[in-house]
Amino acid sequence: MLVAQVFAVAFGVVGAVTYSDWLPAVQGLAYAALLLILQYTAEKFLGAGRSLVGSSPSRLGSKAFLDSVALLAEVAGVLALVALSYAAHDAGNWNAVWLGLGVWAVCDAVACVALHPALANVTVTPDLRAGEEAIGILSFSVKAAIRVVPVAFGTGAVLGALGLASGTFSLLIDRNPGSARGALALLVSSLALPFASYLLFALYHLVMDVLGSVLALPEKLDRMSRK
Protein backbone atom coordinates (compact mmCIF):
# COMPACT_ATOMS: atom_id res chain seq x y z
CA MET A 1 0.00 0.00 0.00
CA LEU A 2 2.93 2.36 0.59
CA VAL A 3 4.08 1.71 -2.97
CA ALA A 4 0.55 2.34 -4.22
CA GLN A 5 0.40 5.65 -2.35
CA VAL A 6 3.69 6.74 -3.92
CA PHE A 7 2.46 5.84 -7.39
CA ALA A 8 -0.85 7.65 -6.73
CA VAL A 9 1.16 10.84 -6.24
CA ALA A 10 3.29 10.01 -9.29
CA PHE A 11 0.14 9.42 -11.33
CA GLY A 12 -1.12 12.87 -10.39
CA VAL A 13 2.20 14.53 -11.21
CA VAL A 14 2.44 12.76 -14.59
CA GLY A 15 -1.15 13.75 -15.32
CA ALA A 16 -0.40 17.38 -14.47
CA VAL A 17 2.61 17.39 -16.81
CA THR A 18 0.77 15.52 -19.56
CA TYR A 19 -2.30 17.75 -19.58
CA SER A 20 -0.53 20.95 -18.47
CA ASP A 21 -3.00 21.30 -15.61
CA TRP A 22 -2.40 21.35 -11.86
CA LEU A 23 -5.71 19.61 -11.02
CA PRO A 24 -4.46 16.02 -11.64
CA ALA A 25 -1.63 16.63 -9.16
CA VAL A 26 -4.15 17.62 -6.47
CA GLN A 27 -6.22 14.55 -7.33
CA GLY A 28 -3.13 12.35 -7.00
CA LEU A 29 -2.47 13.72 -3.51
CA ALA A 30 -6.13 13.19 -2.61
CA TYR A 31 -5.97 9.56 -3.81
CA ALA A 32 -2.82 8.97 -1.76
CA ALA A 33 -4.47 10.43 1.35
CA LEU A 34 -7.58 8.32 0.78
CA LEU A 35 -5.49 5.15 0.46
CA LEU A 36 -3.65 6.02 3.68
CA ILE A 37 -6.89 6.55 5.61
CA LEU A 38 -8.47 3.37 4.24
CA GLN A 39 -5.31 1.39 5.03
CA TYR A 40 -5.52 2.45 8.69
CA THR A 41 -9.19 1.47 8.80
CA ALA A 42 -8.53 -1.85 7.08
CA GLU A 43 -5.82 -2.81 9.56
CA LYS A 44 -8.16 -2.14 12.47
CA PHE A 45 -11.05 -4.15 11.03
CA LEU A 46 -8.87 -7.08 9.98
CA GLY A 47 -8.09 -7.69 13.65
CA ALA A 48 -11.70 -7.09 14.65
CA GLY A 49 -12.89 -9.66 12.11
CA ARG A 50 -10.56 -12.30 13.52
CA SER A 51 -11.87 -11.55 17.02
CA LEU A 52 -15.47 -12.00 15.89
CA VAL A 53 -14.69 -15.36 14.32
CA GLY A 54 -12.82 -16.48 17.43
CA SER A 55 -15.76 -15.63 19.67
CA SER A 56 -18.41 -17.27 17.44
CA PRO A 57 -18.07 -21.07 17.43
CA SER A 58 -20.33 -23.14 15.21
CA ARG A 59 -20.85 -26.80 14.28
CA LEU A 60 -21.35 -28.93 11.18
CA GLY A 61 -22.69 -32.47 10.99
CA SER A 62 -20.08 -33.85 8.56
CA LYS A 63 -17.11 -32.86 6.42
CA ALA A 64 -18.93 -33.64 3.17
CA PHE A 65 -19.93 -30.01 2.64
CA LEU A 66 -16.45 -28.76 3.52
CA ASP A 67 -14.69 -31.20 1.19
CA SER A 68 -17.04 -30.24 -1.64
CA VAL A 69 -16.40 -26.54 -1.08
CA ALA A 70 -12.64 -27.14 -1.15
CA LEU A 71 -12.83 -29.07 -4.41
CA LEU A 72 -15.13 -26.55 -6.11
CA ALA A 73 -12.97 -23.63 -4.99
CA GLU A 74 -9.80 -25.21 -6.37
CA VAL A 75 -11.48 -26.05 -9.67
CA ALA A 76 -12.92 -22.53 -9.94
CA GLY A 77 -9.50 -21.00 -9.29
CA VAL A 78 -7.77 -23.10 -11.92
CA LEU A 79 -10.52 -22.46 -14.49
CA ALA A 80 -10.36 -18.71 -13.84
CA LEU A 81 -6.59 -18.71 -14.30
CA VAL A 82 -6.81 -20.70 -17.55
CA ALA A 83 -9.67 -18.59 -18.94
CA LEU A 84 -7.99 -15.28 -18.15
CA SER A 85 -4.69 -16.54 -19.54
CA TYR A 86 -6.36 -17.42 -22.85
CA ALA A 87 -8.07 -14.02 -22.86
CA ALA A 88 -4.74 -12.30 -22.26
CA HIS A 89 -3.13 -14.28 -25.10
CA ASP A 90 -5.91 -13.38 -27.53
CA ALA A 91 -5.84 -9.70 -26.57
CA GLY A 92 -2.07 -9.49 -26.48
CA ASN A 93 -2.25 -7.97 -23.00
CA TRP A 94 -0.85 -10.11 -20.20
CA ASN A 95 -2.32 -8.07 -17.35
CA ALA A 96 -5.24 -10.50 -17.23
CA VAL A 97 -2.82 -13.27 -16.21
CA TRP A 98 -2.04 -11.39 -13.00
CA LEU A 99 -5.74 -11.05 -12.34
CA GLY A 100 -6.15 -14.80 -12.90
CA LEU A 101 -3.39 -15.51 -10.40
CA GLY A 102 -5.14 -13.26 -7.89
CA VAL A 103 -8.45 -15.07 -8.34
CA TRP A 104 -6.71 -18.42 -7.98
CA ALA A 105 -5.01 -17.27 -4.75
CA VAL A 106 -8.36 -16.26 -3.22
CA CYS A 107 -9.99 -19.54 -4.30
CA ASP A 108 -7.05 -21.46 -2.84
CA ALA A 109 -7.55 -19.62 0.46
CA VAL A 110 -11.23 -20.65 0.47
CA ALA A 111 -10.19 -24.28 -0.08
CA CYS A 112 -7.66 -24.03 2.76
CA VAL A 113 -10.30 -22.81 5.21
CA ALA A 114 -12.71 -25.56 4.09
CA LEU A 115 -10.07 -28.25 4.63
CA HIS A 116 -9.11 -26.76 8.02
CA PRO A 117 -12.47 -25.67 9.53
CA ALA A 118 -10.82 -24.78 12.84
CA LEU A 119 -9.58 -21.64 11.07
CA ALA A 120 -13.23 -20.55 10.96
CA ASN A 121 -13.91 -21.78 14.52
CA VAL A 122 -16.04 -24.66 13.18
CA THR A 123 -16.14 -28.15 14.70
CA VAL A 124 -17.59 -31.26 13.06
CA THR A 125 -20.04 -33.22 15.25
CA PRO A 126 -22.37 -35.93 13.89
CA ASP A 127 -25.36 -35.30 16.18
CA LEU A 128 -26.88 -32.19 14.60
CA ARG A 129 -30.46 -31.70 13.52
CA ALA A 130 -31.28 -30.46 10.01
CA GLY A 131 -31.98 -26.91 11.16
CA GLU A 132 -28.73 -26.74 13.10
CA GLU A 133 -26.87 -28.10 10.09
CA ALA A 134 -28.34 -25.33 7.91
CA ILE A 135 -27.24 -22.69 10.40
CA GLY A 136 -23.79 -24.31 10.55
CA ILE A 137 -23.44 -24.14 6.76
CA LEU A 138 -24.46 -20.49 6.65
CA SER A 139 -22.21 -19.60 9.56
CA PHE A 140 -19.24 -21.36 7.99
CA SER A 141 -19.81 -19.53 4.72
CA VAL A 142 -19.75 -16.13 6.37
CA LYS A 143 -16.83 -16.92 8.68
CA ALA A 144 -14.83 -18.42 5.81
CA ALA A 145 -15.33 -15.15 3.94
CA ILE A 146 -13.98 -13.27 6.98
CA ARG A 147 -10.92 -15.52 7.08
CA VAL A 148 -10.31 -15.09 3.34
CA VAL A 149 -10.59 -11.30 3.45
CA PRO A 150 -6.90 -10.80 4.43
CA VAL A 151 -5.83 -12.82 1.38
CA ALA A 152 -8.20 -10.89 -0.89
CA PHE A 153 -7.03 -7.63 0.67
CA GLY A 154 -3.36 -8.46 0.15
CA THR A 155 -3.91 -9.76 -3.37
CA GLY A 156 -5.88 -6.67 -4.34
CA ALA A 157 -3.20 -4.42 -2.84
CA VAL A 158 -0.41 -6.11 -4.82
CA LEU A 159 -2.36 -6.19 -8.09
CA GLY A 160 -3.57 -2.62 -7.59
CA ALA A 161 -0.07 -1.32 -6.89
CA LEU A 162 1.33 -3.09 -9.97
CA GLY A 163 -1.57 -1.86 -12.08
CA LEU A 164 -1.16 1.71 -10.83
CA ALA A 165 2.56 1.64 -11.65
CA SER A 166 1.83 0.27 -15.12
CA GLY A 167 -1.00 2.77 -15.63
CA THR A 168 1.24 5.68 -14.66
CA PHE A 169 3.78 4.70 -17.33
CA SER A 170 0.91 4.18 -19.78
CA LEU A 171 -0.32 7.71 -19.10
CA LEU A 172 3.17 9.04 -19.70
CA ILE A 173 3.54 7.18 -23.02
CA ASP A 174 0.10 7.21 -24.67
CA ARG A 175 -1.87 9.71 -22.49
CA ASN A 176 -4.37 7.01 -21.44
CA PRO A 177 -5.38 7.22 -17.73
CA GLY A 178 -7.92 4.37 -17.87
CA SER A 179 -5.59 1.63 -16.61
CA ALA A 180 -4.40 3.67 -13.61
CA ARG A 181 -7.94 4.63 -12.67
CA GLY A 182 -8.98 0.99 -12.79
CA ALA A 183 -6.08 0.13 -10.49
CA LEU A 184 -7.13 2.86 -8.06
CA ALA A 185 -10.66 1.45 -8.02
CA LEU A 186 -9.24 -2.01 -7.25
CA LEU A 187 -7.15 -0.60 -4.40
CA VAL A 188 -10.09 1.24 -2.84
CA SER A 189 -12.30 -1.86 -3.15
CA SER A 190 -9.65 -4.06 -1.53
CA LEU A 191 -9.21 -1.62 1.35
CA ALA A 192 -12.97 -1.50 1.91
CA LEU A 193 -13.25 -5.30 2.20
CA PRO A 194 -12.31 -5.62 5.92
CA PHE A 195 -14.90 -3.06 7.04
CA ALA A 196 -17.61 -4.45 4.73
CA SER A 197 -17.00 -8.04 5.87
CA TYR A 198 -16.97 -7.02 9.55
CA LEU A 199 -20.30 -5.21 9.19
CA LEU A 200 -21.83 -8.09 7.22
CA PHE A 201 -20.70 -10.66 9.78
CA ALA A 202 -22.04 -8.64 12.73
CA LEU A 203 -25.47 -8.22 11.12
CA TYR A 204 -25.53 -11.82 9.92
CA HIS A 205 -24.69 -13.21 13.32
CA LEU A 206 -27.50 -11.19 14.87
CA VAL A 207 -29.91 -12.95 12.49
CA MET A 208 -28.32 -16.33 13.26
CA ASP A 209 -28.71 -15.79 17.01
CA VAL A 210 -32.40 -15.08 16.50
CA LEU A 211 -32.82 -18.21 14.36
CA GLY A 212 -30.92 -20.29 16.91
CA SER A 213 -33.25 -19.10 19.65
CA VAL A 214 -36.29 -20.00 17.52
CA LEU A 215 -34.93 -23.50 16.84
CA ALA A 216 -34.26 -24.04 20.55
CA LEU A 217 -37.73 -22.87 21.55
CA PRO A 218 -39.56 -26.23 21.03
CA GLU A 219 -37.07 -28.02 23.25
CA LYS A 220 -37.45 -25.41 25.96
CA LEU A 221 -41.23 -25.58 25.78
CA ASP A 222 -41.06 -29.37 26.02
CA ARG A 223 -38.96 -29.13 29.18
CA MET A 224 -41.40 -26.65 30.70
CA SER A 225 -44.37 -28.90 29.93
CA ARG A 226 -42.65 -31.84 31.64
CA LYS A 227 -42.21 -29.81 34.78
Q: Are 23 and 175 in contact (CB under 8 A)?
A: no
Q: Is the pLDDT of residue 18 over 70?
A: yes
- Output the pLDDT for position 114: 92
Q: State which residues form the domain around 8.
A: 2-226
Which of 118, 81, 83 has the alpha carbon at shortest distance from 101?
A: 81
Listed in sequence order, the residues at least 6 apart from 122 whose beta carbon sits closer than 8 Å to its beta carbon are: 57, 58, 59, 60, 136, 139, 140, 143
pLDDT(72) > 90: yes
Note whether 12 and 29 are within 8 A (CB).
yes
pTM: 0.78
pLDDT (0 to 100) of residue 217 = 67
Q: What is the pLDDT of residue 67?
A: 92
pLDDT of residue 48: 77
pLDDT tens, 159-198?
888 888 888 888 778 777 777 888 888 899 988 888 888 8
Q: Other CB atoms closer than 10 Å to residue 97's CB: what's the count?
A: 16
- Rounded-to-integer distance, Cα 96 and Cα 182, Å: 13
Tally the domains of the chain.
1
What letter would DSSP give residue 91?
Answer: H
Output the pLDDT for position 79.
Answer: 93
The confidence score (pLDDT) of residue 70 equals: 93
Instruction: For residues 103-125, give the mean pLDDT.
Output: 90
